[in-house]
Amino acid sequence: MKLPAVMSADGARPRLRWEQLLTPLTFLAITAALVLMPAERSGWNFDRTISFLTVFATFVAIYALLTLGLNVQWGYTGVFNFGVMAFFLVGANVAAIIAKPPATTEFVEYVGGFGDKLDFIPVLGSEQWLPFLVGVLGAAVFCGVLAFLLSIPALRLREDYLAIATIGIAELLRRVTIEERGLVNGTRGLPGIPRPLSDGIPTQWGRLWDEPDEYKFVILLIASVVLILVFIAVERGIRSPWGRVLRALREDELATAASGKNVFGFKSQGFVLGAMIIGVGGAIYAYANSAISPDTFTHFFGTFIFWAMLMVGGSGNNKGAIMGAYVVWGLWTITLQLQGYTPAHPGPLGFAIPDAVQSRIFFIRDFLLGALIVVVLLLRPQGLVPEERRVSIWVERHARRLRRRGPAPAEQAGSPSD
C-alpha cells in the first residue's frame, strides 16, 4: 500500500498539526451536535435527549457491525465487495423469518416462522431469547454459505469485475425478495418482528424493565455486546498468523502464493467471515428495527453507506470502522434534526432552513455523502483512524515488555502504516 504523502517512510518528517487534530475535532463536533440539537429542540428535556441518543447509539452499533464485516472483506482481505446489501438483506430477512411466528393472514406471506416453537428451554422463558439466538446464528450461517458459494466463481475474478459481479448479485437478491411474494412478503416487507427479551426478565422484585420505555436500553446493550464480541474476535483473528496471511494477500497475491499459501482458500475465508459478520449485523438490525422493508435494501443504503463509513473511518482498522459508522451516521442523523428548524419554528439565533432546502434535505444529504467520499479519497485516503502497523500479538507483547524496561527502541517510533 502506498504511503500517504504526509507520512514519509522513515517517519522523520513530522506530521502536520491539523492532521493530528482532525479526528478528535470531528468526533467532538459531531458529538456536540448530537447532544445539543435534540436537547435544544426538546426544551432541554433530559429524558428525551437520552432517549434520542440511545436509539442513535443502537444503530451506530449495528452499522459498525456491518462496517466491521466489510472491513474484514476489504480492509484486511482486499476483496472488493460492492454488494454489501446482498448479505445485509439476507441476514435481516433470515433472522426475521426465524424469529417470527408462522404467517397466518393472507396479506402476510413468508416462509419459516419458528418463533413459537423455540420455547423448550426453561430458562428465563426461552421464547424470549432462543428464537433470536437461533435467528442471529441462522443469519450468520446463511450468509456464510451464500458467501462461500459465491466465492467459488467470484473470487477468481479481477477486482473490478468482482465489483460488478457483486453489484449484480445484490441486485438479483433484492429483486428475488420483491418478486417472490411468498418468500418474505414481497414489496410490503416484514412488519412486527418480535424483539429479544422484550417482556423483561422476571425476578423476585418484578420484571426488570417495562416495554417500551426502558426496552431501548436493552436493545442497545444487546447490539453493543455483539459489537464488542465481534470486535474482539476480529482483532484477535487479524493479529494471528491467519490474519497476517490475509493482509499479505491484500498487499501482494503473487508473493503470498509464492510463499506457499493457498490464495483462494484464504481469500474465501476472509470473504465468508466478513459476510457472516454483515449477516449478524443485518439480524440485529431486523430485531432493533422490529420491521424490515425492501426500501431499506437499496444500493445506496445497503452498500454505499457502509463503504462511506469504512472509507471515512479508515479501512484496515477496526476502530476506524466503528469511528466511521459513528461519524457518517452522526452526520446522517444531524441532517434529520436540522429539518426541525423551519422558518415557522426557527432554532436559536433565528436559525432556520428555507422551504426549498427542507423539501429536499434527504437528497442534499445523499449528495453530500457522495461528495464526502470523493473528498476523503482525495484528501485523506487513510481515513480518520489510519491503519496501524501490526505484526503479531507476541511481538506487541514483547515490545510492551521492552518499553516497560527502558526507553523505546528507535524502530518503535517508525511509520504507523505498512
Count of alpha carbons within 13 angstroms of residue 77, beta-carbon side: 28
Q: Percent helix, strand, coil in the chain (nearest 5)?
A: 65, 0, 30
153 binds other proteins (CB under 8 A): yes
Instruction: By CB under 8 A, name the one of 148, 299, 388, 417 that touches other proteins.
Output: 299
Number of residues in the chain: 418
Range in contact with other proteins (rule: CB under 8 A) among 7-15, 100-108, 254-262, 373-381: 373-381
Between 90 and 154, whose beta carbon lies closer to other proteins? 154
Interface with other proteins includes 35 (CB under 8 A)?
no
Q: Give the helix ranges, DSSP H, for 180-299.
A: 181-184, 215-239, 241-251, 253-258, 263-289, 299
Q: Total binding residues for other proteins by CB under 8 A?
A: 43
Which CB atom, from 351 or from 363, has the smaller least distance to other proteins? 363
Task: Write the DSSP symbol of residue 412.
Answer: G
Near other proteins by CB under 8 A: residue from 231, 287, 304, 341: 304
Residue 82 found at the interface with other proteins (CB under 8 A): yes
Is residue 171 within the footprint of other proteins (CB under 8 A)?
yes
Which DSSP string do the residues of 88-136 spell out, in sequence order? HHHHHHHHHHHHSPPP-STT--BS---TTT---STTTTGGGTHHHHHHH
Q: What's the min distance (Å) between Cβ of 293 and other proteins?
A: 16
**Whether the Cβ atoms of residue 276 and residue 233 lie closer than 8 Å to each other:** no
Report residue 186 CA to chain centroid gap. Answer: 25
Closer by beta carbon to other proteins, 202 or else 370: 370
Q: How far is the CB of 303 from other proteins (least distance, A)?
A: 9
Among 163, 221, 257, 399, binds other proteins (CB under 8 A): 163
User: Which DSSP symbol is given to 110?
Assistant: B
CB nearer other proteins, residue 68 or residue 308: 308
Please state the φ and ψ torsions of residue 261, each to the nearest 5 degrees. Answer: -95, 145
Read off the C-alpha cell for 270: 476472509
Distance CA(234)–CA(28), nearest Å, equals 27
Any contact of residue 178 with other proteins (CB under 8 A)?
A: yes
Q: Which amino acid is at 98?
A: I
Give the binding site for other proteins (CB under 8 A).
Answer: 2, 5, 80, 82, 153, 157-161, 163-165, 167-168, 171-172, 175, 178-179, 299-300, 304, 307-308, 311, 355-356, 359-360, 363-364, 366-367, 369-374, 377-378, 381
